Structure 1
């Protein structure tokens, strides 16, 4: 609806990397396909699909946190997993335990680490004033979107507690979605705790910002690590703060 009503909006979908139907190069849908009813928008607006996190990255990140003995045990049991459901369950158990225990805080940590190229891409797009206004979004607008929003707000000088409060506004987003029951069922079926992953507790963002500084020194240190340097950050500030 936003794209139909506001033809001048660039859209950035924070994709999970699983859309097999998207065969466009570089994750960009040509404008002539997107704005079929808005000829004046062609040649100046795009829709970008940017992969931030997918299941492979999540499993890879979780694997890096498991105890070595759990990893070895999983490898030893892997041949039996092809014929035994019990063996498959035994292999998955330490992964699921780590994921549920880590919750959204661990998800955010993995987003920052394994989603770095995608995060930089989104920040570059947001810093390009010629693309404004711009909208970025994911499934519910609280995890991938919330992480990038937190980074942008921090670059703009917004205090941590205001960022935490802003994140907490998404606490009930899944409860308000039409497919809430389906999401709960899908998570439960995969032995993931819906109460852990469907919310947006303020403490999660508070812990995430603390962990970010512990791991990278500062928000600026993280952005330097992903290649979004001070020149880029100043460009982002000018694009968003100057009228």
Structure 2
């Protein structure tokens, strides 16, 4: 059987949930454990994992309250939680002429308070066949969106190798030097050229990652959004 060229998504609510009664009904359909996420969230805030149905309503209220206080929006949505998944992101680059390539993957499974601590390329938890498949999925997704510029397709990979799509970060990320070190490609330069309407200067076959790169990010308890420090080895 041929492998699907599409990554599934986790079971979840169809947008923000309403009151507690509706949310409980959706939660029962999804099953536990699940995660409650603030619709306007970011920076690892507004995320609560719920292991048991008995804890759901208090967690829902607490997460919605926190979201309202921090983001000014109390809307939340629900999603199945994968406790043993790896967090893997694939760097993509696309021009306005229909050319799309991926530049390998970065593993960011080591996190603290839902914030990435270590980024590594290549991923130590994937075999190359699975890593290549994630790259193909990222390229397919970017083409389906007629995407242009740099971006990151993010996946959760279960212990059995099942990959589920999580999100597309439509921007350059602070982790991009990891990819630059293993590919030798200046992503900022390429982003500017693509924005200027230039076609990509290389094909997928030209991209041959070599070596290993690791970035470590500090996340002290009192840090602000812009105060994280980074080391790339």
TM-score by length of 2: 0.27
- Structure that is richer in helix per residue: 1
Q: Which has the higher contact order (CA 8 A, sep 6+)?
A: 1
TM-score by length of 1: 0.26
